[in-house]
């Protein structure tokens, strides 16, 4: 990445306060602690931080900085550019830089499965192309621009993840990345606290395909009752996938404890797919990747190979052997849809005692009590043997399970992770399988860490 200071000024409508307008920068940083030589520092502001305090520190190593303070006039020898809003300037620079690359851009969004779907798509496309992808969960208004700044001339295409919690966020991300392919996983109730209904969640997610035109492509889950409404829009090509419905359908599905097999027909050719990750939800995630593979001409055998070798990201259904027990570490995040998907994976362990350790699901607003109780009913319906809940909201999971007929002796309510670990230590026995899952704020990976540390003593 090489941009001149003049290009930065033009992109942001900024004003040069000091330094040489003809100098260049070779990267972007929003963190003065990790800035490198040649990079432009963008001092962002938040509730608990103000990057403007670190402009001087950043310029000791970095090559230039933005600022919202006119007090920085002439203070530094290096280029300092005044802008009205540094976050908006970050977006404008990313948009300017993205426009330098005339390559396909794929955006993935949905309530559940975004990261896994993005990673599966990346593995499939990488069999044929040099692909840039969002790292981890860099799927917001800071992470997406930083992803775009990693583009270089070697990339044939890019795949970015787009998350949101309210109206307007997806639109802003779309305006930066300008994708021509949209992939939708599902519409659940994540972030319903802000948006109020699945209809509004669909409306917010639909911002991605606003003004999608002929030649653009929308790939979506045809088994999702909300997403199918998007196919009524004129203009782009639609490719749908699913188990019950869709252009690309999975059949003869065989669920196992730690894997899943199915068949799919592509252009009259029947392909056997085997995933080394479990669960129905991963069938859907992989079908989306197959649709992308079809669109971009990836060889069928290469697609099958990529999916067979796929490995999930950290804390997303990572299956661990810990001192005679199985631990399913799905602690990255949680909402009702992903909770049920994880419980469906746990249920496949037929000959083991199944223990679900479930924490609070956050950002559910007025829907919270009902959502937690529904998960509790699902725990009972899936014949989970023992339930341990963590947190105030999750106690409603326990209530739902007991109301549905689960033996109260097999239900335990804990206030925090330490208490849950103490319960686990008392009840666990050889050959058990434990599912650990909760919202990000619950940090339930601590329980996994406790188990691993105790096993190593």
Question: Does 298 lie in the same domain as 397?
Answer: no
| Same domain (yes/no): 137, 277 | yes
Whether 344 and 260 have beta carbons less than 8 Å apart is answered as no
Asked if residue 349 belongs to a domain, the reply is yes
Given a cut of 50, the residues of the chain with pLDDT beneath it are none
Q: Would you state the pLDDT for residue 372?
A: 97
Residues 303, 339: one domain? no
Measured in whole angstroms, the distance separating CA 39 from the mean position of its chain's CA atoms is 27
Tokens of 243: 């188990």
Predicted local distance difference test score (pLDDT) of residue 72:
67
**Is position 13 within any domain?**
yes
Same domain, yes or no, for 260 and 381? no
Quote the number of domains for the chain: 3
**Does residue 369 sit in the same domain as residue 445?**
yes
If asked whether residues 133 and 256 sit together in one domain, one would say yes
CATH number at residue 154: 3.40.1190.10
Q: In the prediction, which pLDDT does 75 show?
A: 77
Give percent of the chain above pLDDT 90. Answer: 87
Claim to verify: residue 355 and residue 300 sit in the same structural domain: no
- Do 324 and 409 lie in one domain? The reply is yes
- Report pLDDT digits (tens) over 166-182: 999 999 999 999 999 99
Q: What does each C-alpha distance from 108 to 163, 179, 189, 237, 437 come to in angstroms?
A: 9, 10, 17, 16, 23
Contacts for 273 with CB less than 8 Å, ≥ 6 apart: 250, 261, 262, 263, 264, 286, 290, 304, 307, 308
User: Annotated binding site for ATP: which residue ranges?
Assistant: 110-116
What count of other Cβ atoms lies within 10 Å of the Cβ of residue 428? 19
Alpha-carbon gap, residue 360 to 388, rounded angstroms: 12
Radius of gyration of the chain from Cα atoms?
Answer: 24
From 256, 275, 308, the end of a domain falls on 308
Q: Is residue 239 part of a domain?
A: yes
On whether residue 220 sits in a domain, the answer given is yes
Binding-site residue numbers are: 110-116
Same domain, 142 and 194: yes
pTM of the model: 0.92
Structural domain contains residue 96 = no
CB 373 within 8 A of CB 400: yes
Instruction: For residue 21, give Cα distances in angstroms to 18, 71, 155.
Output: 9, 19, 29
Give the residue from 243, 277, 308 where a domain finishes.
308
End-to-end distance of the chain based on CA atoms, in angstroms?
48
List the CATH number of the domain containing 338: 3.90.190.20
* 394-453 confidence digits (pLDDT tens): 999 999 999 999 999 999 999 999 999 999 999 999 999 999 999 999 999 999 999 888
Residue that is last in its domain, among 59, 86, 113:
86
Q: What is the pLDDT of residues 360-370, one digit of tens each?
A: 999 999 999 99
Angle at 8 between CA 7 and CA 10, to 5 degrees: 60
- What is the domain range of residue 439? 318-455
Tell me, yes or no, whether 93 lies in a domain.
no
Flag whether 206 is in a domain. Answer: yes
Do both 363 and 437 map to the same domain? yes
Are 120 and 31 part of one and the same domain? no
| Same domain for 268 and 138 | yes
Q: Is residue 60 part of a domain?
A: yes
We report the CATH number of the domain holding residue 42 as 3.40.1390.10
């Amino acid at each position: 990445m090489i941009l001149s200071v003049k290009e930065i000024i033009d992109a942001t409508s900024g004003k040069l306060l000091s330094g040489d307008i003809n100098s260049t920068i070779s990267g972007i940083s929003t963190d003065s602690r990790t800035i490198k030589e040649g990079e432009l520092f963008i001092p962002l502001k938040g509730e608990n931080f103000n990057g403007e305090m670190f402009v001087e520190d950043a310029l000791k190593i970095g090559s230039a900085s933005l600022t919202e303070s006119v007090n920085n006039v002439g203070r530094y020898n290096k280029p300092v550019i005044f802008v009205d809003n540094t976050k908006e300037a970050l977006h404008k620079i990313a948009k300017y830089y993205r426009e330098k690359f005339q390559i396909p851009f794929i955006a993935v969004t949905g309530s559940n499965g975004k990261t896994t779907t993005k990673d599966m798509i990346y593995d499939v496309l990488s069999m044929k192309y040099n692909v840039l992808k969002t790292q981890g969960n860099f799927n917001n208004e800071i992470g997406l621009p930083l992803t775009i700044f990693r583009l270089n001339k070697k990339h044939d295409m890019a795949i970015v993840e787009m998350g949101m919690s309210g109206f307007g966020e997806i639109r802003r991300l779309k305006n930066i990345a300008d994708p021509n392919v949209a992939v939708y996983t599902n519409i659940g109730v994540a972030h319903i606290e802000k948006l109020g209904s699945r209809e509004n969640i669909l409306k917010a997610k639909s911002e991605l395909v606003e003004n999608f035109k002929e030649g653009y492509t929308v790939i979506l889950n045809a088994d999702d009752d909300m997403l199918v409404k998007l196919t009524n829009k004129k203009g782009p090509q639609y490719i749908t996938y699913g188990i019950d419905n869709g252009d690309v359908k999975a059949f003869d599905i065989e669920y196992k404890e730690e894997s899943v097999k199915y068949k799919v027909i592509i252009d009259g050719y029947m392909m056997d797919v085997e995933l080394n990750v479990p669960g129905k939800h991963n069938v859907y995630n992989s079908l989306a990747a197959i649709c992308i593979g079809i669109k971009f001409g990836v060889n069928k055998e290469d697609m099958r190979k990529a999916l067979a070798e796929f490995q999930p990201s950290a804390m997303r259904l990572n299956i661990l052997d810990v001192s005679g027990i199985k631990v399913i570490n799905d602690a990255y995040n949680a909402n009702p849809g992903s909770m049920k998907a994880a419980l469906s994976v746990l249920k496949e362990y037929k000959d083991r005692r199944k223990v679900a350790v479930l924490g609070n699901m956050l950002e559910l607003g007025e829907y919270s009590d009902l959502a937690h109780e529904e998960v509790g009913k699902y725990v009972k319906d899936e014949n989970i043997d023992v339930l341990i809940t963590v947190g105030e909201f999750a106690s409603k999971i326990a209530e739902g399970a007991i109301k549905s007929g689960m033996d109260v002796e097999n239900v335990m309510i804990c206030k925090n992770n330490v208490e849950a670990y103490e319960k686990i230590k008392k009840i666990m026995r050889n050959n058990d399988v434990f599912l650990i899952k909760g919202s990000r704020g619950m940090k339930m990976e601590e329980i996994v860490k406790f188990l691993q540390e105790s096993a190593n003593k």
